[in-house]
Amino acid sequence: MILTGCWDQRELQDRGFVLASAIDANDESSSSLKQQRIESFAYPHGGSPYRLSLQMLRLGGQTSEEGSKKSNGGKTYVLSNTGHSLFEMARDMWGQSSKALWFEHQQAIIISEAALKHAGLAHFLDFFQRDSEMRWRTRIYITPGKARPLLEYEPPSGEPGGLFFTALSRQYGKDPHLPTFRTDLGFTTFDLDNGSDIILPRIEMVDNDVKVNGAALFKKDRLVGYIDEYAVKGQKYILGMEKSALITFECPLHPGGVTVFELYRHHTVLTPHVEGDSIYFTLDIAMRGNLGEATCALKHNTTGRQYQEDARQMFAQEVKRNIEYGRKTAQDLGVDVLNYSRLLKAKEPKTWEKIKDRWDEIFPTIPLIVSVNITILNVGEHQ
């Protein structure tokens, strides 16, 4: 048998694997003149407003001489450059690397708030969208601080940082505080192309701890603000994207006692209604799950019919409260991440044609009527 092999074969050790990219505004005051000279290049259009940093995979046996000295001999190192064009910055980094930069295994793109004050999201994603090597499942994060230090972070799990960042976003099903799966390069490009508003996870590093907390909201491609974890959770209820939410309430009879409901299954229907010139939405949610925790359980009969009926009502009230908070947060910022416009366009096309040019004015005023029904399947292994 004759095997032809791969016509463009290149050995792994000859590739420079890019695991993550970070985009910052260039702060020249934070680096020495010598460092500025190394991390830049002669540019005919003047100035270097942006900094692109790349997290590179260090293969086994590779020394730490190449790249950032802050790699501490770990599994990755960081290359950095400044300029206008991300493509030019990446190509100029070949002068810092003995291996061709390869983006096909890139896992995450982190963009700083400071960079987004200079230009919109589309400006920074264009390079990644056009290059055929880029994976559209690459996760996108927004950070209020600098993006480069996140590339230098060494996860306690021992995995390379890029893999750590992409794994974080996959926890959205279990962690109600993480935005939905529509936060990668592919979905974000789809939303940008359609002029839709966008929600992306907010990531932050304090000392040596990294956490995704809340989200960044974009009006088209412009950052308008951040929302907290409670708002993210409420908006996921509206979108029907919540897979395993935890719903809590404080026991009214025993202050400090907390009861927790774990969602297993749900059926969510968000429906637009048009009555003359009035537009409103209804949200009907049926939830099924178990009692996950009750810190005052010894003072109650958790299997009793009255207790479960009271608990169902309390859980439903909390879901409504959370949904109202998430709705109000989005409407106050004027960012339609609730899918209102998509549903209205699909189900009431004639109405949409009349109001689409005034949607930015109408969206913040649209009311939402919520109905929640909760079923407690069991109370676990302990009464």
One-letter amino acid of 288: R
Q: What is the pLDDT of residues 163-199, one digit of tens each?
A: 999 999 888 888 888 898 889 999 999 999 999 999 9
Backbone angles phi, psi at 34, to 5 degrees: -65, -40
What is the C-alpha to C-alpha distance for residues 60 and 75, in angstroms, rounded to an integer?
8
Does 98 score more than 80 pLDDT? Answer: no
Residue type, 293: E
Residues 226-254, mean pLDDT to the nearest whole number? 92
Q: Which residue has the tokens 């003047």?
A: 46
Local confidence band at 68 (pLDDT 50, 70, 90 cut-offs):
very low
Amino acid 70: pLDDT: 46
Each residue's pLDDT tens digit, 329-363: 999 999 999 999 999 999 999 999 999 999 999 99
Question: What is the model's pLDDT at position 67?
Answer: 46
Q: What is the pLDDT of residue 299?
A: 73
pLDDT band for position 223 (cuts 50, 70, 90): very high
- Tokens read off for 77: 């190192």
Is the pLDDT score of 4 beyond 90? no
Residue 61 in this model has a pLDDT that exceeds 60 = no
Q: Please report the DSSP string for 255-269 in residue order.
A: TT-EEEEEEEEEEEE
Which stretches of the chain are DSSP H helices?
33-38, 86-92, 113-116, 121-130, 148-151, 161-169, 185-193, 229-239, 305-333, 340-347, 349-355, 359-362
Higher pLDDT, 241 or 1: 241
- What does the pLDDT look like over 106-138, one tens digit per residue? 999 999 999 999 999 999 999 999 988 889 999
CA distances from 110 to 81, 151, 177 (A): 15, 9, 19
pLDDT band at 253 (very low <50, low <70, confident <90, very high): confident
Lowest mean per-residue pLDDT among 35-39, 147-151, 222-226: 35-39
265-297 burial, b at 16+ Cβ within 10 Å, e below that, comes to: ebebebebebeeeebebebebebebebeebebb
Confidence of residue 14 (pLDDT cuts 50, 70, 90): confident
Higher pLDDT, 298 or 144: 144
* Residue 72 confidence (pLDDT) above 50: no
pLDDT in tens, 358-381: 999 999 999 999 999 999 998 876
| Percent of the chain surpassing pLDDT 70 | 87
Amino acid at 300: H
CB 244 within 8 A of CB 174: yes
User: What DSSP string describes 20-89?
Assistant: EEEEEE--GGGS-HHHHHHT----TT----EEEEEEEE--TT--S-SS-GGGTTSSEEEEEEEES-HHHH
Residues paired with 80 in a beta bridge: 53
The arithmetic mean of pLDDT across residues 54-62, rounded, is 80
| Mean pLDDT for the chain overall | 88
Q: Is the pTM of this model over 0.85?
A: yes
In angstroms, the CA 311 to CA 367 distance is 27
Predicted confidence (pLDDT) at residue 227 exceeds the cutoff of 90? yes
Q: Tell me what percent of the residues of the chain surpass a pLDDT of 90.
A: 64
Q: Look at residue 153 in the predicted model and tell me its pLDDT.
A: 94
Domains and CATH numbers, the chain: 13-227 (no CATH), 232-376 (3.30.300.210)
DSSP assignment of 75-98:
SEEEEEEEES-HHHHHHHGGGT-S
User: What would the two tokens of residue 156 be?
Assistant: 């306690």
3-class state of residue 108 by DSSP: strand
